[in-house]
Amino acid sequence: MAKIRLYIDHPLVAGQPVPLDPGQAHYLSSVMRLRVGDRIRVFNGQDGEWLADLEQVSKRGGSVLPVEQSGPQVSPPDLWLVFAPIKKARTDFIVEKAAEMGAARIKPVQTGHTNADRIRQDRLQAHAIEAAEQCGGTFVPTVDDLTPLSRLLQGWDPERRILWADEALAGPAQTLAGLATGPWAILIGPEGGFSDTERSQLRQLPFVTPVSLGPRILRADTAAVAALALWQAALGDWRQD
191 scored as a contact of ligand SAM (CB under 6 A): yes
Q: Which is nearer to ligand SAM, 67 or 170 (CB)?
A: 170
- Min dist CB 191 to ligand SAM, Å, is 5
Based on CB atoms, which residue is closest to ligand SAM, 3 or 216? 216
Report the greatest alpha carbon distance in the chain.
Answer: 61
CB 124 within 8 A of CB 130: no
CB-count exposure of residue 33 (10 Å: 0-12, 13-18, 19+) = exposed
Query: 66 vs 190, which CB is nearer to ligand SAM?
Result: 190
- The residue among 194 and 231 lying less far from ligand SAM, judged by its C-beta, is 194
| Residue 116 touches ligand SAM, criterion: CB under 6 A | no
Q: Does 85 bind ligand SAM (CB under 6 A)?
A: no
| Dihedral over alpha carbons 208, 214, 216, 222 (to 10 degrees) | -70
Burial of 94 per CB tally in 10 Å (0-12, 13-18, 19+): buried
User: What is the nearest approach in angstroms of ligand SAM to the Cβ of residue 3?
Assistant: 36
* Minimal distance, residue 23 CB to ligand SAM, in Å: 34
> Closest separation between CB of residue 221 and ligand SAM, Å?
9
* Tally of residues, the chain: 241
Name residue 18's beta-bridge partners: 64
Phi and psi of 129, rounded to 5°? -65, -50
Q: Which residues bind ligand SAM (CB under 6 A)?
A: 165-167, 169-170, 188-189, 191-194, 212-214, 216-220, 223
